[in-house]
Amino acid sequence: MFYISTRGQTRPHSFTEAVEVGLATDGGLFLPEKLPDISGKLASWAGLTYPELAAEFFTLFGPDIPAEEWRSLTAEAYSRFDSPDVAPLKKISEQTYVLELWHGPTLAFKDFALQLLGLLYKRQVKLKGKKLAVLGATSGDTGSAAIHGCMGQEGIEIFILYPNGRVAPLQERQMACTGAANVYAIPVPGTFDDAQRVVKECFGDPSFVSAVNLSAVNSINIARVLAQCVYYIWAWMKLPEEARATVEFVVPTGNFGNVMAGWMAQQMGLPCGGFRVATNQNDILYRFFETGEYKQGDVSPSYAPSMDIQAASNFERYLYFMLGKDQNRVREIMLRMKRGDRVTLPKTASSFRASRMDDATIAEVIAQVWKDHGYVVDPHTACAFTDMAKDRVSVVLSTASPAKFPEVVQEATGAEPLHPSLEVLKALPLKTDPLPATAEAVKAFIREKVGA
């Protein structure tokens, strides 16, 4: 199994190489050169626990890591989830199930990938005997999940930049209250884009990158997408048999990473019905699936901040498949998108539907779902609850615990959503390392901390 770039200008990489470098040197994203067919394996996977299923799956995609080691990696990665099912599937009405993806340490679905990625980094450090500096920018959930995947891991220092005052208070606490010596939560002035720009500039300095052995943590690592495929297979196997062939997965979407994983599982032979891309008011993907036109606008802050995105970084992977794996065309179209050109793609038959939801409706939906089903959803998950398929079962992917977004939820339901791990956090001291939003300042700080 080798990994190629969507833009076709890098040599094939092994799984561990592709995970280590993250982004291909031609600017493209890694994908397996050929998707394996899992349809013949589903029956034998039926009785497995979640970590066992993940190990079977990854043995297909990362054959350069022995099967035995995959079993211990996935067992450890999912041992810190607070549900024995890891990803429990709850039935809330005759036709509707909710797949709760927030039982990991930071209470959002990103833990599924980043708990595992932290262990893969650790394995790399051990094999190579070289310390690693992990750097990323976050608007909230990715940073906290990455920190919890790396904290306390020997040989790794993790640096996460975020816009000062612009992440949710509990998200900041998840980053800044770990007490771990290898974690640096770095507020910088400005917006998420400023933080992101500084990170990019750091990676644009090759001598710095090699001096501190810098690695990027972001939403495009292939290990993240693959780790997310597993819970689609898991949920599908938990459904009543008669519901499986037509089930629609409804996925709150920003960067297109989560729903891309589901679609890839379907391409591998998971016989499910299809997907609905559920966006908030930042609806570039909704507009794309409705009209075929991909045109970036400005980001407007919403109740569902982890979906406040106008450039869906994982979309390039879908594009690659849609363009018949024509890497030259992917390269050309990505260039046009980067310039901000309007790009229109032919509308092809696809298994995607799309929906959008504004903030006023998000608040109404949280109240309505509570009233109808006695079930509390967070503002991201709320975006899924519209335009439900009438003739088949839906599985809503619940991406965060309502306790992470207490204000909106309390206003809608009248009760403050609580989670014990967040209550603990509220009492802990905040430790941040504020820096100016410049690459010079950040590079000097990292150098000092890793002793390079």
Ligand X SMILES: *Cc1c(COP(=O)(O)O)cnc(C)c1O
Residue 307 is a binding residue for ligand X (CB under 6 A): yes
Residue 244 or 356 with smaller CB distance to ligand X: 356
Residues 94-113: x/- map of binding to ligand X (CB under 6 A)?
--------------x-x---
Residues 78-97: x/- map of binding to ligand X (CB under 6 A)?
--------------------
Residue 400 is a binding residue for ligand X (CB under 6 A): yes
Instruction: State the Cα–Cα distance between residues 321 and 30, nearest whole angstrom.
Output: 13
Instruction: State the Cα–Cα distance between residues 28 and 129, nearest whole angstrom.
Output: 28
Q: What is the maximum alpha-carbon separation in the chain?
A: 61
Please identify, among the stretches 59-67, 168-176, 256-264, 423-431, the one whose residues bind ligand X according to the rule CB under 6 A: 256-264
Closest CA to 22 of 169, 183, 217, 191: 217
Residue 125 or 160 with smaller CB distance to ligand X: 160
Q: Minimum CB separation from ligand X for residue 206, in Å?
A: 29
Q: Which residue has the tokens 């092809």?
A: 348
**Can 200 be counted among the known catalytic residues?**
no
Residue 171 or 213 with smaller CB distance to ligand X: 171
What are the CA-CA distances from residue 170 to residues 144, 147, 177, 341 (Å)? 10, 14, 10, 37
Out of 380, 395, 406, 422, the residue judged to bind ligand X by CB under 6 A: 380
Is the separation of the CB atoms in 212 and 449 below 8 Å?
no
Residue 258 is a binding residue for ligand X (CB under 6 A): yes
Residue 86 or 108 with smaller CB distance to ligand X: 108
Residue 399 is a binding residue for ligand X (CB under 6 A): yes
Residue 22 is a binding residue for ligand X (CB under 6 A): no
Residue 402 is a binding residue for ligand X (CB under 6 A): no
Residues 135-154: x/- map of binding to ligand X (CB under 6 A)?
------x-------------
Closest CA to 20 of 57, 64, 53: 64
Out of 70, 162, 232, 256, the residue judged to bind ligand X by CB under 6 A: 256
Within 10 angstroms of residue 84's Cβ, the number of other Cβ atoms is: 9
Interacting residues with ligand X between 190 and 229 (CB under 6 A): 219
CA end-to-end span of the chain: 36
Is the separation of the CB atoms in 251 and 397 below 8 Å?
yes
Is the separation of the CB atoms in 306 and 405 below 8 Å?
no
Token pair listed for 225: 């997408």
Q: Which of 34, 90, 91, 110 is catalytic?
A: 110
Within 10 angstroms of residue 303's Cβ, the number of other Cβ atoms is: 26
Residue numbers at the binding site for ligand X (CB under 6 A):
108, 110, 141, 219, 252-258, 306-307, 380, 399-400
